[in-house]
Structure 1
Amino acid sequence: MAEVQRVTVLGAGSWGTAFAKVLGDAGRDVTMWARRPEVAAEIRERHLNSSYLPGIELPERITATADPAEALDGAQAVVLAVPSQTLRTNLSEWSGLLPPDAILVSLAKGVELGTLKRMSEVIAEIARVDDGQIVVVSGPNLAKEIALGQPAAAVLACTDHDNAKAIQQASFNQYFRPYTNTDVVGCELGGACKNVIALSCGMAAGLGLGTNTTATLITRGLAEMARLGAKLGADPLTFAGLAGVGDLVATCSSPLSRNRTFGERLGRGETLEQALAATGGQVAEGVKSCTSIRELAMGLGVDMPITDAMHRVCHEGVDPRRAGAELLGRSQKHEWS
């Protein structure tokens, strides 16, 4: 297993920046790519990214550029830190610049609209690499808390365990503890589905509902993602771990979660357009993923009622109160059926 020392992070949003900091604090040399030259300049010259993680000082080992070719030169690992629904477009622009033997690390959590592909499948298709060259990062990873150095853990999933271990070694530091896993399918489904369930928990909070409701949505949401995972061959134990219940609890419970706070706005009666305006046009991943995950589940004959309800609220104009009433009015059943 070769040691990974030089890492490129493509994307300078909150999670990309936080993960770059993790790598820098683990002693790696990191080059970030930012679309906006002024963001790259601030990271390079002041070791700050005030647009996404204000007040967080970045390690000296991190530099940045707005030139993707410069960023990728000599990289041993490339971290893809762009939203799930723009990954294909971005990676198509970068694919000719990727070092052929670099480990590709995916931070995106979602299922692609239209193709219904997981992010690792999109990467394998566009970058023309084997599955074993792609490592997926998942777990309870709220960017701000990690950037502040608060203890956290993650799962690094790859079909090639040596590559997972190489990224584990490159990202392990005094506050970030990564574990390895070979269940890429389960880790990716957990990361995508939890965003949708977090939307529902936010809506419940916006409607003034309490802890019992949130706990119910988390638990039944976990059952939904486990059913989908079972159909696609995932390991059931994955959903009991960091990429499953761990990520789900963090995203559904924290005000730092964009999906939860977006859902809360919808629950308070705001339209999708109003919620978008209030968040500066930044769409929560779950708003788009609820549609692709719903379509994937329907094609496989998997029952995902919370996901279906979130799609209808976000994209068919159904009132959150009505969606909640319909969920409660579903036919009675055994818990595990």
Structure 2
Amino acid sequence: MTLWGRRPELVDAINATGVNGDYLPGVQLPDSVRATADPAVAAREADIAVLAVSAQHARPLLEEWRPLWSPSTVFVSLMKGVELGTNRLMSQVIAETTGAGPDRVTVLSGPNLAREIVQRKPAASVVACADHNTAERVQTACHTAYFRPYTNSDIVGCELGGAVKNVIALAVGVTDGMGLGDNAKAALVTRGLAEATRLGVAMGADPLTFAGLAGMGDLVATCSSTLSRNHSFGYRLGEGLTVEEAKKATTQTAEGVASSKAVSALGERYGVELPITAAVVDIIHNGQNPTDVVDALMSRTPKPERFGDRGREAGN
């Protein structure tokens, strides 16, 4: 197994010690893992390529690497974001930059906090692909005694669930940092799930996907854990830090920060109201005070939780 890294000094340290000290200190990687700073070496004869770069940097990297892949390489996206500017899901970015068809693009998503997985604590996830055989192939490749993947054909729902939950986790982090309590957290998680589901259905996803591991499961883990980068980022904002101060205090990418604008744009494109996402955009990108934004959310016009003869969900 070959691991690509952009920093030669970190690659050398991983090969010398078997430890990724910058991101997973104290965790011994399997002996089968070797690191390289050369993407051609990493891509050589790769049957399955697992992509875990930042969502906003994926396109230029994949365009650069396009000549390196085998025509049969299967791509597995761990990227939980939406591309700014194009508002494309990561599966779409992969397809556009590699030329891979739907049978070679998969998404792995679920409540999968990295620190707990490397500690071999029990976890479950979803492998989504339009092609069931490919989904089963990836499922088999990553199934272990402590990691249980399920298959799903709803790639849009699984991917969107992973992207929107980062935005909701920012909102929950803000309210936690403000000390607004568990009732506020529960309300944001529940109505955040409603936002993700409404947008997903408008984009052709199966609403049941959002009740599963890639929807509710991932949302609960990300909104409740101190290991979550997005929750931690929001928490700092709720404590009073500026966005720039929170960025300096965050060692890894909080995907929801950039993706919040792209998710909001998707809502506008599909005519779906996303008030929690809009609130996050107002705080992070429009410079509004968190207290004022929370007050505005709570003073929205009262609505039924569900309405209409067919039980369609109302806006938040």
- The question of a shared fold, defined as TM-score above 0.5 by the shorter chain, is answered with yes
Deviations 1:208-233 (A, max 9, x none): 11111101000000000000011011
Which residue in the other structure is 2:311 paired with?
Answer: none
Which residue in the other structure is 2:62 paired with?
Answer: 91
SS at match of 2:60: helix
Deviations 1:109-129 (A, max 9, x none): 111111111000000001011
Q: Distance in 2 between the 1:39 and 1:160 partners?
A: 36
Q: Distance in 2 between the 1:283 and 1:312 partners?
A: 20
Q: Distance in 2 between the 1:236 and 1:193 partners?
A: 14
Offset, 1:273: 0.6
Q: Distance in 2 between the 1:75 and 1:249 partners?
A: 34
Q: Distance in 1 between the 2:27 and 2:293 partners?
A: 40
Note the 1:13-28 alignment, pairs <5 A. Answer: none
Offset, 1:42: 2.2
Which residue in the other structure is 1:326 paired with?
Answer: 296
Which residue in the other structure is 2:50 paired with?
Answer: 79
Q: Distance in 2 between the 1:294 and 1:74 partners?
A: 39
Which residue in the other structure is 2:309 paired with?
Answer: none
Which residue in the other structure is 1:35 paired with?
Answer: 6
Which residue in the other structure is 1:9 paired with?
Answer: none
Which residue in the other structure is 1:221 paired with?
Answer: 192
Q: Which runs of 4+ in 1 moved over 3 A?
A: none
Which residue in the other structure is 2:285 paired with?
Answer: 315
Which residue in the other structure is 2:123 paired with?
Answer: 152
Offset, 1:43: 2.1
Choose the corresponding residue for 2:140, options 169, 178, 186: 169
The answer as to whether partners of 2:202 and 2:270 remain within 8 angstroms in 1 is yes
Question: Is 1:286 the counterpart of 2:256 in the alignment?
Answer: yes
* Corresponding pairs, count: 307
Instruction: Report the residue type matching 1:188 in the other structure.
Output: E
The answer as to whether partners of 2:54 and 2:253 remain within 8 angstroms in 1 is no
Choose the corresponding residue for 1:198, options 159, 169, 181: 169
Question: Is 1:255 the counterpart of 2:231 in the alignment?
Answer: no
SS at match of 1:333: coil
Which residue in the other structure is 1:101 paired with?
Answer: 72
Q: Distance in 1 between the 2:42 and 2:255 partners?
A: 26
Offset, 1:283: 3.9
Choose the corresponding residue for 1:304, options 257, 268, 274: 274
SS at match of 1:327: helix
Q: Distance in 1 between the 2:90 and 2:249 partners?
A: 28
Deviations 1:250-292 (A, max 9, x none): 0000000000000000011111111111124x44111111100
Q: Distance in 2 between the 1:299 and 1:68 partners?
A: 36
Instruction: Report the residue type matching 2:210 in the other structure.
Output: F
SS at match of 1:104: strand
Give the root-mean-square deviation of aligned CA atoms.
0.8
Q: Distance in 1 between the 2:270 and 2:208 partners?
A: 21
Q: Distance in 2 between the 1:149 and 1:96 partners?
A: 35
User: When the two structures are superposed, what TM-score results if normalisation uses the length of structure 1?
Assistant: 0.90
Structure 2 unaligned spans of 5+:
307-313
Instruction: Report the residue type matching 2:148 in the other structure.
Output: R
Identity of aligned residues (%): 53
SS at match of 2:2: strand
